[in-house]
Amino acid sequence: MLWWLFFMLPVSQISCELWCYSCVSSQPGCEEFYIDWRIHHAITCPREDDKCVKIIERKGVDKFITRDCLSNLEGQKKDIPADRYDGCRKAAEQPKLAVYVENHITQLEIKNQYWNEVTYCFCEFDQWCNHGNFLYCNKCILILITVFVLSTMINNFI
């Protein structure tokens, strides 16, 4: 009767790290409210106290989405908010960025002033939590179908 426990034990011990999606919106299948899990597989975050991050950068109708682990973004982004608890918040101000730089090449984004609105969304209590809403519904449906099929097979076997 308890033979199904032998199949569930290895699943619970696969990994203790946090899994996050890692993609940018210039790649296909990586949008603000949707991520194609067949293209973008999860990565494991390198630190124990890591968080999944989704960055939404906007200027008018232009939008750029970045998903990754916080530890992977800390060396690149200087406007990460100090409050990193679950939820979304605006980026921190950067008053001292490029203070001593005198560069007249306008194509270089030295002061990081292109985006009008930058929002950071943090999460750490759920695997793949930097996903879109559509993907979460697909996973729930998949789990329900799997449970239904397994229970039907068990009932037919008994």
Nearest CA to 113 among 98, 128, 124?
98
CB within 8 Å of 8: residues ≥ 6 apart: none
Tens of pLDDT, residue by residue over 64-79, are 999 999 999 998 888 8
pLDDT exceeds 50 at position 155:
yes
pLDDT confidence of residue 63: 93
The token pair that represents 124 in the structure block: 């750490």
CA 93 – CA 95 distance, rounded (Å) = 6
pTM over 0.85, yes/no: no
Neighbouring-strand partners of residue 65: 56
Q: What is the pLDDT of residues 117-153, one digit of tens each?
A: 999 999 887 777 877 654 444 556 667 788 888 888 8
Residue 45: count of CB within 10 angstroms of its CB: 22
- The values of phi and psi at residue 145, to 5°, are -65, -40
